[in-house]
Amino acid sequence: MTTSSDSLRTDPAAEREPATVEQLEEEGDIAADFIEGLLDIADIDGDLDLDVRAGRAYVSVEAPEGGSVALIAEPDTVQALQELTRIAVQNRTGRFSRLILDVGGSRDARHHELVALVDRAIARLDDGASQASLPAMSSYERKLVHDIVAERGFVSESYGEGADRHTVISRG
């Protein structure tokens, strides 16, 4: 007898190999179908755009003129939808998915928030602090923070486990 969690397991070897562009495009197609179904259920109009960026499938939901996508563009909602979509993709492909979902430009808005957060942390370092801790965030957001910090010429490391994992910035 198999359980529903058995269908969500991935092949460990497949997780170690980078996905091909064709596999990422397949992930995007599966994700788009899943999201389209959710939008239909919620009676929300949205235009879908698929792309492959930096080794990830990237799905964007944009509002047509007068659309209601803003109803689901809240960061926590986007994160939850992204996780559901990743599970749907993983269930269909048998591979771990690093898919990114953007709803109504929420990812760009969050990127700008992270830049401001890093800049405030660096200002604390400039004021004499030896390090500056940022709040816990997702692995994707921590990756963005590490990139922003490196661009500014500083060093960052992640600490903690699970939902408490956060980034600490220092001069290095």
- pTM for this entry: 0.73
18-30 confidence digits (pLDDT tens): 899 999 999 999 9
Listed in sequence order, the residues at least 6 apart from 18 whose beta carbon sits closer than 8 Å to its beta carbon are 55
How much is the pLDDT for 7? 43
Domain boundaries, the chain: 4-104, 108-170
Per DSSP, the three-state class of 22 is: helix
Q: What is the pLDDT of residue 63?
A: 84
Domain 4-104 shares a fold with domain 108-170: no
CATH T-level topology, domain 108-170: Ribosomal Protein S8; Chain: A, domain 1 (3.30.1370)
What class has domain 4-104?
A: alpha beta
